[in-house]
Amino acid sequence: MTWLPFLKKKEKNQIVVKNFNNKAENSQICLMCFHGNIKKQIINYFNEQFLTKGQHIKHGGISSSNTILSLIALAGGAISISTTSSKHLYIATASPDHLMKIGNGVGSAILKNGRIIGHAPFVPASNALIPVVAPLMAFQVISTITILDNFNLINQKLDNIQKSIDRIIRRNEATFVGEINSVVNRITDIENRLKINKGFTNDMIIRLALIEDKINSIFERYSYLYSNLKLNNKNVNTISTDDINFKNLDAYMTLITSILDIKVDQLRLKLAIQENPAYAEIASRQFKKKIERYSLLWQNIKKDISKIHDIHDQIKNTIEHMNWWQKHVPSWLGGKRDNYIELNNKATKLNNLIKNDIITEQIKKIENPDYYKNHNKNFSLIYWKENNTVYSYYSNDIIIRNAA
């Protein structure tokens, strides 16, 4: 009569640990299965978060359960637990802290603010000394999560894009500026909803697809205009300030749209983690290549801005080397007054352009990107099942460490 409380077998308080190895990239994942009181304490923490904040996690997002289930299915027998995943709480991590420190000791589940919510001994799984080759999907998703977290640096460094756009509006570009403003507002709305929901709803997915289509066409327009207008600084007398203004405008619009394009891809990666983890590795690789390609583009833009400075200096130098007669006497008397006035006007326009240069300022904030190098962010995949409902997240809210 197992319904009698005193006849129920008490679940042992422990964390069963199994390490997996990805031989292709020489990386590891640690899968932890929680039993007993420590499991209840962690799940209670998540449930309290849900009751007070409306979401189980503070940081992170929804992850497809297929990712961690691929590890659970492979480790079920090796760690001597029930293969019924609904009976346990699982956390999978690639954190070096975990992989190096977890052993036969006392594990502490620690919140991000440092408050300890429980202890339990680590128990190596059977055959734990022999790493098992894990499904690539789990490694790829955790790697993608790390890339996304590192890339948040760009969002912290960039000023409000919309305010910058307002400073360079030209009447003949108003249509495109309006479309860019619309994209900015829609991306911001999706990002804000993602912070609240921790995952994508159907309407967010549709809106993201529409934004992607819009920003790609605008970027291609300005990238084409920018790359096809060449600045010639060999002869200051033939330099057109109109060309320089157009080049500067095209450069800025290219910079802005490339950043927005990357932000859309960033959202796409988060969507892949939630809906299609098998595609995360491909999307992540494409994301890296796009950042590398755009980084070269940003450096070229920076060089062109530097070229404008050089042109300004050449014009100033030409003016300084004119004598009084050349500056003030018309050409029919052997002077160069008209040329002097024209060069002065060019110098004034370029000086105003240089003074109001916000392109270089923006590029300095994002150049030499370090967004996709692996850093220890302690992000983990978290999975449990309660009342026939599956909960699957990636988060760094809970950190498991060896307390010894």
**Span 307-347, pLDDT tens digits:** 888 888 888 888 888 888 888 888 888 888 888 888 888 88
User: How many angstroms separate the CA atoms of 208 and 267, rounded?
Assistant: 8
What six digits make up the tokens of 99?
Answer: 């992989």
Contact 182, 165 (CB under 8 A): no
Neighbours of 136 (CB within 10 A): 14
Q: CB within 8 A of 109, min separation 6: which ones? A: 38, 41, 42, 116, 117, 118, 119, 120, 398, 399, 400
Write out pLDDT tens, residues 111-159. Answer: 555 566 667 767 767 665 545 666 678 888 888 887 787 777 666 665 5
DSSP 255-294: HHHHHHHHHHHHHHHHHHHHH-GGGHHHHHHHHHHHHHHH
Contact 256, 179 (CB under 8 A): no
What six digits make up the tokens of 192?
Answer: 């804000």
Token match 């060019």: residue? 346
What is the predicted pLDDT for the residue at 134? Answer: 60
Q: Block means of pLDDT (10 residues each) for the chain, length 404 residues?
A: 50 80 68 86 89 89 90 69 63 66 54 61 62 70 80 62 57 71 88 90 92 89 85 68 82 86 90 89 87 86 83 86 85 83 84 73 66 61 90 87 62
What is the predicted pLDDT for the residue at 153? Answer: 63
User: How many angstroms separate the CA atoms of 245 and 214, rounded?
Assistant: 25
Write out pLDDT tens, residues 212-232. Answer: 988 988 898 888 888 888 776
What is the predicted pLDDT for the residue at 239? Answer: 74
What is the predicted pLDDT for the residue at 83? Answer: 46
Neighbours of 23 (CB within 10 A): 9
pTM of the model: 0.77
